[in-house]
Structure 1
Amino acid sequence: MAKFNRVLAIVLDSIGIGEAPDAAKYHDEGADTLGHIGEFFNGQLALPYLQAMGLGNIRQDNPISGVAPVSEPSGYFGKMYEISAGKDSMDGHWEMMGLPVTEPLGFFPNGFPDALIKQIEDFSGRHVIVNKPYSGTEVLTDYGEEQLKTGDLIVYTSGDSVLQIAANTAIIPLEELYKICEYARSITIDAPYRIGRVIARPYTGTDKSNFTRTSDRHDYALLPNAPTDLDRLQQAGVPTFGIGKINDIFSGQGIDAGVHTTSNVDGMNQTIATMKSDQSGFIFANLVDFDAMYGHRRNPQGDGDALETFDRQLGELIDVLQPDDLLLITADHGNDPGFRGTDHTREFVPLLAFSKSLPGGGDLGIRSPFSDLGATVLENFGVRGNGVGHSFLDALQ
């Protein structure tokens, strides 16, 4: 019999909590997403619900400015670091679900090979421009007007294993963009490319002053190369429900049902509605704005504002939780808005656990791999795992 009737895990996409032990390997020494956001807000970062759960207690030796430790946390607190050979969203989410990515994915810091670009051009009948690492918003400023004139495809990448195709939907309809991305996905699954995600990046606007990316983004991730904890839950008859880009990250594998979201606020509204419903089992949510809107754009003000908005909605969520619900809050990697560059950062991620039926106040310590989260979900529902990760369910008492 399950200890909790439902487990809800919310991933604050990119909200790291300080450099990971192997940060130097990724040239990320000094990265600290939450720490630098707190510093930018000069002690005025207001996250009362997260703070009450114990967010500040995770770093008592190096406090987050504005989020001090509390004497009696309502939740359980700790942090995790990953073992996957990368710091992409796919790596982090797969590892949470018992499938660390041990084989490095393909990275193309100098742009994609001519042979791959030609295949995309031949399939689409459109010329490809850019083909190098770029900020997703700056590439529109620099090349969006050219695309409007020529109908060319904007192809770019980042420090992650991603191939992104941006298209103004006024000249390249959404259905056409998706079809091109589906083709690009089909030819980049195996070596020599093995790209983690192909991402469709539709946008609107008439010139660089008003180009705006839309919520119709679609991620085409690799199919998991082995069963995940989502598959194990599904096979055991435990319902699984994805919110946000969860379905994309797992290519629908192991997900019974889910909802697309347009923003963090929409994601939390959908999460609150789900927890008000009779949905049971495991609910897995991702809030992507921290990453896509603020982290990559190195915007600490926006990141902090979004955290404060999330915290207010977290209060609404807590109100509707039942005593037999377990809430887990974590992240998939860092994306420090106070750091150099525009890419993800290799960091610890926060881990908070909360239930109205639990006294709180427990220190979960440092957990590795991220698979400890999935192992905890499995143990709660009495489902056997693959031995990757160790449950912290017993610590929640």
Structure 2
Amino acid sequence: MIERVIWIVLDSVGMGALPDANKYGDEMSNTIGNVSEAVGGLNLPNMEKLGLGNIDGMKGVKPYENAIGCYARFQEMSNGKDTTTGHWEMGGVHLKQAFPTYPNGFPSEIINEFESLTGRGVIGNKPASGTAILDELGEEHIKTGKIIVYTSADSVFQIAAHEDVVPLEELYKMCEIARAMLKDEHAVARVIARPFIGDVGNFVRTPNRRDFSLIPPHDTVLDGLKNSGSNVMAVGKIEDIFCGRGVTEAVHTKDNMDGVDKTLEYIRSDKKGLIFTNLVDFDMKWGHRNDFKAYGKGLEEFDSRVAEILKEMKDSDILFITADHGCDPTVPGTDHTREYVPFLAYGKALKENVNMGTRKGFYDMGQTIAEIFNLEKVKNGESFLKEIVK
């Protein structure tokens, strides 16, 4: 009997361009495969044992003859390639219209209203790398008190401010103001607080980032679990992505390894239900910064902790490991990439060495969790529980 699901999202760890990747300029993207080639191979023995290298289309990871897990690659069906779209689809939401993006910055009426409501001027207002824009505008921000607003190829309204210039509470309040403003045709997926510290030439973003997402358009599997009385334990930015909807308790994290630590703490507890974890460093620290060496090391570092996770799992636990989109650090640009994502499942209640091929729709994961806990079906998706359960 399955009493708990441990669901770990490796943020941006894609595995090859989707059939429609050309619409996004991502035909050459393959986060795992290209990183592996760039660093001369990846050492991922624990995920290999689960079947990572056996997934259809996987490049750069060795297959394992008698994998102990179930495995597949998943195709995103919603329009977009961002964190919110990916996670919402896992929960059961199919977005047919992509969130709005702003390649030329936000319209003047948006910026003017934001300045009026916050009482602070705005600088920036353009697509930019989060670290590059600090180098460009950080000094001006400190001198003038004006806040840095920027976006990317994704649907985000990002607000950067030095913690010594703008207290965190004020920064978060400004994000709430922006979130309330940005609706209808300007309903961006996320408003993101991007606090930083340091001196000119040495600015560093802090772990105090917060995401202010839209509310999902309908209930997800998280809501179903919570409404049924189950625990939904959110680790990392999961709580932010779902606006707290369907979450019974949450912890935020400093980095990937802190995220694994917090996940292990929940695993060691006796709480049943869902542990839902996002490990963001792959995306935030390495993918967007084109740091393929650190990306490869990060994959190996996570893999080294997988053995620890498996050891701590109870017989009534199952583990899902997947991703929400790609962010190939080896291709031109610094944005997310439209890719398949890998999927691994393991537990004493599951079969071994089951290849589920290619599945369309991240929402099949959520539908499967709904069936595990005898919930009403989520709005989209087909459960694959019968394919993997003993």
Counterpart code for 1:32? N
Change (3 A) 1:12 1:167: same
Q: C-alpha distance in 2, partners of 1:288/1:95?
A: 18
Who is 1:10 aligned against?
8
- Contact kept in structure 2, 1:31 and 1:346, CA below 8 Å: yes
Unaligned runs of 5+ in 2: none
In structure 1, which of residues 339, 351, 361 is the aligned counterpart of residue 353 of structure 2? 361
In structure 1, which of residues 242, 247, 254 is the aligned counterpart of residue 246 of structure 2? 254
In structure 2, which of residues 125, 138, 144 is the aligned counterpart of residue 131 of structure 1? 125
In structure 1, which of residues 283, 294, 300 is the aligned counterpart of residue 292 of structure 2? 300
**TM-score of the aligned structures, taking structure 1 as reference length:** 0.96
Change (3 A) 1:63 1:370: closer
CA deviations 1:313-369 (Å, max 9, x no partner) are 111111100111000000000000111111100000000001134441000111111
Aligned pairs for 1:203-218 (under 5 A) are 203-208=196-201, 210-218=202-210
Note the C-alpha offset of 1:149. Answer: 1.1
Q: C-alpha distance in 1, partners of 2:229/2:253?
A: 26
Q: Does residue 385 of structure 1 match 2:377?
A: yes
Note the C-alpha offset of 1:91. Answer: 0.3
Unaligned runs of 5+ in 1: none
- Contact kept in structure 1, 2:118 and 2:177, CA below 8 Å: no
Aligned pairs for 1:274-353 (under 5 A) are 274-353=266-345
Q: C-alpha distance in 1, partners of 2:231/2:119?
A: 43
Identity of paired residues, percent? 46
2:211 is paired with a residue whose SS is: strand
Q: C-alpha distance in 1, partners of 2:267/2:378?
A: 29
Note the C-alpha offset of 1:311. Answer: 0.7
Change (3 A) 1:358 1:229: closer
CA deviations 1:104-130 (Å, max 9, x no partner) are 211111000001001111122221111
Q: C-alpha distance in 1, partners of 2:242/2:58?
A: 35
Who is 2:59 aligned against?
64
Counterpart code for 1:101? L
Q: Does residue 52 of structure 1 match 2:46?
A: no
Q: C-alpha distance in 2, partners of 1:74/1:156?
A: 45
Who is 1:21 aligned against?
19
- Return structure 1 stretches of 4+ with deviation > 4 angstroms: none
CA deviations 1:73-96 (Å, max 9, x no partner) are 010111101111111100000000
2:36 is paired with a residue whose SS is: helix
Counterpart code for 1:244? G
In structure 1, which of residues 37, 46, 51 is the aligned counterpart of residue 35 of structure 2? 37
Note the C-alpha offset of 1:103. Answer: 2.2
Who is 1:150 aligned against?
144
**TM-score of the aligned structures, taking structure 2 as reference length:** 0.98
Counterpart code for 1:206? D
Aligned pairs for 1:142-291 (under 5 A) are 142-191=136-185, 193-208=186-201, 210-291=202-283
Q: C-alpha distance in 1, partners of 2:137/2:85?
A: 30
Counterpart code for 1:346? R
Note the C-alpha offset of 1:237. Answer: 2.0
Q: C-alpha distance in 2, partners of 1:99/1:387?
A: 7
- Larger deviation: 333-342 or 381-390? 381-390
Q: C-alpha distance in 2, partners of 1:36/1:187?
A: 40
Counterpart code for 1:280? K
Note the C-alpha offset of 1:189. Answer: 2.3
Counterpart code for 1:64? K
Q: Does residue 112 of structure 1 match 2:110?
A: no
Counterpart code for 2:10? L
- Contact kept in structure 2, 1:321 and 1:356, CA below 8 Å: no
1:291 is paired with a residue whose SS is: helix
Note the C-alpha offset of 1:378. Answer: 0.6
- Superposed CA RMSD in Å reads 1.1
Aligned residues: 389
CA deviations 1:253-297 (Å, max 9, x no partner) are 011111111100000000011100112101111000000000011
Note the C-alpha offset of 1:236. Answer: 1.9
1:19 is paired with a residue whose SS is: coil
- Contact kept in structure 2, 1:98 and 1:389, CA below 8 Å: yes
Q: C-alpha distance in 1, partners of 2:231/2:309?
A: 20
Q: C-alpha distance in 1, partners of 2:261/2:137?
A: 35
